[in-house]
Structure 1
Amino acid sequence: MAIVSRIYRPEPSAASFFLGSVADALVERGDDVTVLTARPPHSSEPHAPRERVRTFPVVRDRNGYVRGYLPYASFDLPLFFRLLFARRPDVVFVEPPPTTGVVVRIVCALRRIPYVYDAADIWSDAASMATSSTAVTRVLRRLERFAMRGATRLVTISQGVVDRVRALGIERPIAVTGFGADTSSFSYRPADIQPLVVYAGSYSTWHGAEVVVDALAVLRDKGVDVRLLVIGNGEQETLAVRARDRGLESVVEFAAPVDPEDLSRVLGGALVSIATLRPGTGYDYAFTSKVYSSLAAGCPVVFAGPGPTGPFVTEASRHVRAGSAVSHDADELADALRALIDHPPTEADRAALAEWTAREHSMAAVAGRVADEITAATRRRMP
């Protein structure tokens, strides 16, 4: 079996944790797994995999991420030949972007190999928010449809994505496998809680993370001071300008992505983490999977925005002190943060939160469901 992705462990990202867990699940079943991926950044911690990991140098953006036309091409073009001449796998599991899916479809058609497509979200929808070019969005949409339509089956994280995939005319079987926390890396560690708000993970235009800065300004005007730590890759300049405009540059700090264990320690000492999703982008069905890691570390989450994440946090809060969900509004977000500041979860609350997340939403369980779909795809004979 083969896994194809431009990003893989030890490079820190939700996709890396997820794909690594899928590889672990397959290996534990006795499968022979090869991963075709990009050479990780030099700053990444070493990893000793049980699967075979084949890397290739790629172009990275100024933040060290494989993102953008040239970086994608630097991975996809060599991938065509890497996959074409690799030892024939029984099945391929491919992670977006859609251009990678296109390469996999072409090679798999030539070699008569079934493949499973990870439709965790719809890239062409996200692109429509990031660019004003309808031509770019139209081309990406066609590529994405092409990649999905050739798959034996697809996996995704929520019913909302299934509905969107169906609206695009894709009739392939789709399994909702969910998305969980890497509980081997994210766990509760008792720590002194700081007046710190953490935004961890990607923060692109459609996330609308500026609302967090605005909420801090609302709190400051009410005499409540907290710090914001933004960890990851994204629209840093946009947030930095927003912080300067609000006079908050001294309390808003940016940090590069860190490895899961370090992020777990940061979350363990934070008052709360925040996840956001901007409404009205055509991407309201998306699930912000970063909430799982925070909950697994025992750190409550406040989610601001539309979509399935809010109901998930609300439902979780019926069982443990998971946090709260509000609309994408600075005043509402500030009120939710103020409530946590005034009545913070106890050490017992945070330990119970981490235990519940590990039991109900571990990435290992999700990876097992994905592995089931990959295994099932091998039963289809290619014409």
Structure 2
Amino acid sequence: MAVARFPVLRDRGGNVRGYVQYLSFDVPLAVRLLFTGGDLVVSEPPPTTGIVVALTSMIRRRPYAYYAADVWSDGLVALGAPRALVSVMKGIESFVLRHAATVIAVSEEVAQKVVDFGVARSAVATVDNGVDTEVFTPDGPVAPGARPAFVYTGSMSEWQAPAIFVEALAIVRQRFPEASIRFFGQGVEESHVSEAAARLGLADAVHLGGVIPPAETAEWIRGATAALASIRPGIGYDFAKPTKTYAAAACGTPVVFAGRGAGAALVERNDLGWRSDFTPEAVAQAMIAAAEADGGADHARRRVSRVEWVRQHASLAAAGQRAARRLLASE
């Protein structure tokens, strides 16, 4: 497989955020798609990139598929964006979805939202996220550190609001004074995590490690008491199932999930860890429960059970095969 990359504008934190930055990707993309052959184009969000793919595909008279990881117009509403901006984004998103030969939705909840845009149900395929089970495994190097140790990996966006875990840590340390959290990844909420740690006097217990390779991420997850995942409720993202949940389970590590909706149900229904309401007190109780269960009599059995569940239901290979079969059928 040949991979072509193109540099884009980023903010100080390395994030691609805002349409000027997206435009720095979309303009070169339009040129490339107009003069590059191919039988099918697969587009990921945002919808602004999707509209470039849609229009160039119409000009080239070839089909395209759209990967619906979420619904952007819903997210803008939740953030309180101006009504005009929401209306424009909804129009773009609707156009992209309705003209796609196939839409790959990451969950049934997202699939229904796509159908609500007027897309035929037969054109929508639900393919859950997957994780690389060759990298995220229960066996392998383990990062050292005192316990209980919690780890948060991946995106730190408004949807996750990960500073909730720092607030909870202040409570956890009343029971476990050595408890700590390591954050790996980046996002607009990274500064809020740092600010919360400083405000609560937890600078020595909260570590931000930036973006690290997947193999190193797996080492920290294996060595953690629990991995942390969250979705801030009530902002239109209760349908999300964070990939970090699958990565943790693939390593055998339990998850503490803060929030409600599909992600919380996933953890609870499949015995992948603990779920809690989105309050510091509730999250702290779940983290304490994880610390108390660490190394317990049932620990090994549950670890094996989590790994096996991911291999059967959430491996990247299986998800990729399901998506590929649907895409090939749409050509």
By how many angstroms is 1:145 displaced?
1.3
- Structure 1 residue 356 corresponds to structure 2 residue 305: no
2:153 alignment partner, one of 195, 200, 204: 200
1:296 aligned partner, one-letter code: A
The separation in 2 between residues aligned to 1:256 and 1:306, in whole angstroms, is: 27
8 A contact 1:219–1:225 mirrored in 2: no
- Structure 1 residue 126 corresponds to structure 2 residue 78: no
By how many angstroms is 1:60 displaced?
2.1
8 A contact 2:97–2:117 mirrored in 1: no
8 A contact 1:119–1:154 mirrored in 2: yes
8 A contact 1:61–1:68 mirrored in 2: no
8 A contact 1:188–1:298 mirrored in 2: yes
1:135 alignment partner, one of 84, 92, 99: 84
The separation in 1 between residues aligned to 2:286 and 2:5, in whole angstroms, is: 44
Secondary structure at the counterpart of residue 243 of structure 1: helix
Q: How many aligned positions are there?
A: 323
8 A contact 1:130–1:206 mirrored in 2: no
After superposition, the C-alpha distances for 1:111-157 in whole angstroms (9 at most, x for unaligned) are 11111100011122223344543333222222211211110110111
Match for residue 365 of structure 1? 318
8 A contact 1:189–1:265 mirrored in 2: no
After superposition, the C-alpha distances for 1:322-371 in whole angstroms (9 at most, x for unaligned) are 21112212212111111111121545643443233223321110110100
* Structure-1-length-normalised TM-score: 0.80
The separation in 2 between residues aligned to 1:323 and 1:224, in whole angstroms, is: 22
- Structure 1 residue 323 corresponds to structure 2 residue 273: yes
* Structure-2-length-normalised TM-score: 0.91
Percent of aligned pairs sharing the same letter = 36
After superposition, the C-alpha distances for 1:254-302 in whole angstroms (9 at most, x for unaligned) are 1211111110011011111111111111222222222111111121101
1:76 alignment partner, one of 11, 26, 32: 26
The separation in 2 between residues aligned to 1:135 and 1:201, in whole angstroms, is: 31
The separation in 1 between residues aligned to 2:139 and 2:300, in whole angstroms, is: 10
- Structure 1 residue 147 corresponds to structure 2 residue 103: no
The separation in 2 between residues aligned to 1:225 and 1:362, in whole angstroms, is: 34
Alignment of 1:1-383 (within 5 A): 51-87=1-37, 89-130=38-79, 132-171=81-120, 173-189=123-139, 191=142, 194-234=147-187, 235-317=189-271, 322-345=272-295, 346-347=299-300, 349-378=302-331
The separation in 1 between residues aligned to 2:112 and 2:309, in whole angstroms, is: 29
Unaligned ranges ≥5, structure 2:
none
Q: CA RMSD in A?
A: 1.9
After superposition, the C-alpha distances for 1:141-194 in whole angstroms (9 at most, x for unaligned) are 222112111101101111111222233333362111111111121111264674
By how many angstroms is 1:58 displaced?
1.9
By how many angstroms is 1:224 displaced?
4.0
8 A contact 2:225–2:294 mirrored in 1: yes
